[in-house]
């Protein structure tokens, strides 16, 4: 099902793309999703969102790439938001590994934000899949991005926050994943930042600490056989 918009992008309901939604999932799901790329990527394997700070540290980028590579090697599709920092690193690492990746963006499909990721967005649309809930002509506003994060949590079987400050937009996705009853993981390194309040709050509501990638693979739909993890996060 689905029909092309006048701009050529395929418009689908979330149910068309993801299958039946339960009451909690449907309550805040967008009415329409616009997609560019290969629709079949959505069902090619388990989907895990790897998200975090736009102004990520060098260590945060390293951890992001390692996690995305390990998940890709185990048949997991990497989902992220095509923002600077962690998101870009997650998409790039999946591509470099020959894995699948899906971008869920906070603009309409004819725009790129940041503009410097235009080439990467076009590559993901060509090889894999880009998803937006915003019709062409929708203004790009700050409120778009928490809405995008809510949709990304819906699309993903689990979410991982790699690195994030107290005001990071990634936190909105973390809370939404917990509301949906989806697994939410925080990299162990986050807990070393004693000035952050949000990690303890999310752990109290059911988030888990990710030490080894097997912890995550155990709670998502089956992918490829798990490869040994040679180091901890």
Task: Give the CATH number of the domain where residue 172 resides.
Answer: 3.40.50.450
Residue 226 counted as domain residue: no
Is 73 contained in some domain?
yes
Say if pTM beats, i.e. exceeds, 0.75: yes
Whether 100 is covered by a domain: the verdict is yes
Domains of the chain: total: 1
Could you tell me if residue 198 is inside a domain?
Answer: yes
> Which residue, among 158, 150, 138, has the nearest Cα to 34 in the 3D structure?
138
Cα separation, 132 vs 134, in Å, equals 5
Q: Is residue 233 part of a domain?
A: no
Q: Is residue 131 part of a domain?
A: yes
Q: Are 2 and 16 spatial neighbours (Cβ–Cβ below 8 Å)?
A: yes
Across the 233 residues of the chain, what is the mean pLDDT of every consecutive 10-residue run? Answer: 63 97 95 97 96 95 97 96 97 97 97 96 97 96 95 98 93 96 95 90 97 92 47 48
Evaluate whether residue 223 is within a structural domain: no
Tell me, what's the pLDDT at 224? 41
Give residue 91's domain range.
3-217
Tell me the β-bridge partners of 103. 80, 130
pLDDT at 230: 41
Instruction: Calculate the CA dihedral of residues 91, 95, 97, 99 and round it to 10 degrees.
Output: 90
CA distances from 56 to 53, 67, 123, 162 (A): 5, 15, 23, 9
Check: CB of residue 100 under 8 Å from CB of residue 42: no
DSSP string, 87-139: HHHHHHHHHHHT--EEEEESS-TT--SSGGGHHHHHHHHHHSEEEESS-TT--
């Amino acid at each position: 099902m689905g029909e092309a918009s006048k701009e050529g992008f395929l418009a689908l309901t979330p149910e068309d793309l993801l299958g039946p939604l339960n009451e909690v999932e449907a309550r805040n799901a967008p009415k329409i999703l616009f997609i560019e790329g290969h629709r079949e990527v959505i069902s090619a394997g388990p989907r895990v969102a790897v998200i975090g700070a736009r102004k990520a540290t060098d260590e945060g980028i390293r951890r992001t790439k390692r996690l995305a590579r390990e998940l890709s090697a185990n048949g997991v599709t990497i989902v992220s938001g095509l923002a600077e920092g962690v998101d870009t690193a997650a998409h790039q690492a999946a591509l470099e590994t020959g894995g699948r990746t899906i971008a869920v963006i906070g603009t309409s499909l004819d725009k790129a934000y940041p503009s410097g990721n235009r080439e990467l967005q076009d590559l993901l649309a060509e090889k894999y899949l880009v998803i937006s809930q915003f019709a062409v002509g929708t203004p790009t506003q700050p409120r778009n991005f928490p809405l995008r994060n809510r949709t990304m949590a819906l699309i993903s079987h689990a979410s991982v926050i790699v690195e994030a400050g107290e005001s990071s937009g990634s936190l909105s996705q973390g809370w939404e994943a917990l509301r949906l009853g989806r697994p939410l993981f925080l990299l162990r390194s986050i807990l070393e930042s004693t000035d952050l309040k949000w990690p303890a709050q999310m752990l109290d509501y059911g988030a888990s600490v990710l030490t080894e990638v097997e912890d995550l693979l155990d709670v998502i739909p089956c992918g490829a056989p798990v490869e040994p993890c040679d180091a901890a996060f």
